Amino acid sequence: MGYSSGLVEIDGEKLLIPDVVQVARHGTPVAISEAGKHKLELARTIIDRLVTQNVVTYGVNTGFGKLSDVIISPEQTGQLQYNLITSHAGGVGEPFEEEIVRAILLLRANTLTKGYSGISTNIVETMIRMLNAGVHPLIPKKGSVGASGDLAPLAHMALVLIGEGEAFFQGQRLAGRDALQKAGLRPVTLKAKEGLALINGTQVMGALATIGVHDAEQLFKIANISAAITIEALGGITAAFDKRLHVVRPHPGQIKCAEQIMRLLSGSKLMSQAVYGRVQDAYSLRCIPQVHGASWDALEYTRRVIEIEINSATDNPLVFPDQGEVVSGGNFHGQPLALAADFLAMAVAEIGNIAERRIERLVNPQLSGLPAFLAQDSGLNSGLMIGQYTAAALVSENKILASPACVDSIPTSANQEDHVSMGSISTRKLRDIIQHTCYILAIELLCGCQAMEFRPKAMGRGTVIPYQLIRKVVPPLTRDRPIHGDIEAVYELIMTGKIVSEVEKEIGLLT
Q: Tens of pLDDT along 239-255?
A: 999 999 999 999 999 99
The rounded Cα 401 to chain-centroid distance in angstroms is 15
Choose among 34, 2, 24: nearest CA to 15: 2
User: Could you report the average pLDDT of every consecutive run of 10 residues in the chain (511 residues)?
Assistant: 67 97 98 97 92 81 75 83 95 98 98 96 98 98 93 98 98 98 97 93 98 98 98 95 97 98 96 76 97 98 98 94 91 96 98 98 96 94 98 98 96 88 97 98 98 94 98 97 98 97 96 84
Tell me, what's the pLDDT at 255?
98
Tell me the CA distances in angstroms from 5 to 22, 127, 237, 321, 424, one per residue in order: 12, 21, 47, 32, 33
User: Tens of pLDDT along 425-484?
Assistant: 999 999 999 999 999 999 999 999 999 999 988 999 999 999 999 999 999 999 999 999
DSSP class of residue 370? S
Has 58 been annotated as catalytic?
yes
Choose among 148, 193, 151: nearest CA to 57: 193
Question: Which residues sit opposite 136 in a β-bridge?
Answer: 168
Choose among 175, 283, 293: nearest CA to 224: 293
Task: Give the pTM.
Answer: 0.95
Asked if residues 166 and 117 have their Cβ atoms less than 8 Å apart, the reply is no
- Report the C-alpha gap between 138 and 178 in whole angstroms: 13
DSSP H/E element including 203: helix 203-233
DSSP class of residue 482? -
Tell me the CA distances in angstroms from 371 to 48, 77, 216, 458, one per residue in order: 76, 74, 33, 20
Helix (H, G, I), strand (E, B) or coil at 378: strand
Q: Give 500-509 contacts, CB < 8 A, sequence gap 24+.
A: 500/218, 500/221, 500/222, 500/225, 502/465, 502/466, 502/469, 503/221, 503/225, 503/264, 503/462, 503/465, 503/466, 506/461, 506/462, 506/465, 507/263, 507/264, 507/266, 507/461, 507/462, 508/263
Tell me, what's the pLDDT at 335?
96
Residues ≥6 apart with Cβ < 8 Å to 131: 23, 30, 102, 105, 106, 109
Asked if residues 218 and 497 have their Cβ atoms less than 8 Å apart, the reply is yes
How many helices and strands (H and E) does the chain possess? 20, 9
CB burial of 1-36 (b: ≥16 within 10 Å; e: otherwise) equals: eebeeeebbbbbeebbbebbbbbbeeebebebbeeb
DSSP class of residue 190? -
For β-strands 318-320 and 172-175, DSSP reports them as unpaired
Tell me, what's the pLDDT at 223?
98
- Which is catalytic among the residues 58, 116, 439, 491? 58
- Report the C-alpha gap between 237 and 241 in whole angstroms: 9
Tell me, what's the pLDDT at 229?
98
Secondary structure (DSSP) of 204-258 = HHHHHHHHHHHHHHHHHHHHHHHHHHHHHHTT-BGGGG-HHHHHTS--HHHHHHH
Domains and CATH numbers, the chain: 8-201 (1.10.275.10), 209-314+329-409+420-507 (1.20.200.10)
